[in-house]
Every structure is written in structure tokens, then in C-alpha cells.
Structure 1
Amino acid sequence: MHIPGVFHLTEAHVFVVMTTQGRSSGQAFVEFPSPGDADHAMQLDRQMFGNRYVELFLSSAEEARRATSGSFF
């Protein structure tokens, strides 16, 4: 996955939150290589990413773990 002006990510860095029915909830967590890269990615907040509008929020590894526990691919 390439985020314009940021860097390349692998699927191992993207954690999609799933519903109890096994479908994507529309939320995902992305693990960035550094805090600076995460800050740089925040420039895409409230922008169009392809044909999708995205809202971004900084979160901790613990928040991501709780939200995706048993529900990511």
C-alpha cells in the first residue's frame, strides 16, 4: 500500500477492525515505522484517499490491540 507522500506499508502494518458478522467495520489501525511518520500521515486527515474520505486519529498500540483483539486480518 502506498500513501502519497508518506511511504510504503505492508499488510502486516494494517489491522482492519471486523464486526461480529466478520465484515469490515470501516475502521483500521496502521502501525507506522516511527512517530514522525505517523505525524506526517496525519496530513491526510479529512482528505480523499482514492474515492474514499478518511478521518485519521493518533492512537496507542494498546488501543489498537484492544480494538482489533481477535478481529483483524
Structure 2
Amino acid sequence: MLRLGEDEFLIAGKGIVVTFETVAGDERAGVESAWEGRFEAGRWIPGRRLNGDQTHQGRHIRLPPDQFGVQRVRLYRY
């Protein structure tokens, strides 16, 4: 996992599930958006935008066990 900014991450690999939480005990973190994609010549090329079925209604990111994947994820706090 690579942190791109305050609430934005790149997650790469296969066969993993990633959940998020905040440092502050009075806040929670959810997945605002998640995009599958790839890099070409150092540039991010977005693919399919994932919806609530793929992010478990914004609770986690899952990379399937049978293939390498990259997802760009933005979080929100509530």
C-alpha cells in the first residue's frame, strides 16, 4: 500500500483484504471511491470504478487471489 495523499492510497497485490480506520477514536473511515487500473509509462490509467458490491458497501478493499491487481482508493471520514 502506498499513501498518495491525506485520504488517497494505491493498493497492489493479490489475495488481500484491506480495511481502514482513523487514528481518532471518534471518527470512522469508509471507501469513497475505488478504481481498478494500471500504470503505463509511469502514468495511472484508470479502469473500472468499483461499487458497493466490490467494496462491501465501503468497508474494505479486496484484491482477488488469482491475479495481481492495483486499485486507487479515496477514503472519507464520518
Note whether the superposition's TM-score is higher than 0.5.
no
Query: TM-score normalized by structure 1?
Result: 0.30
Query: TM-score normalized by structure 2?
Result: 0.29
Pick the structure with more helix per residue.
1
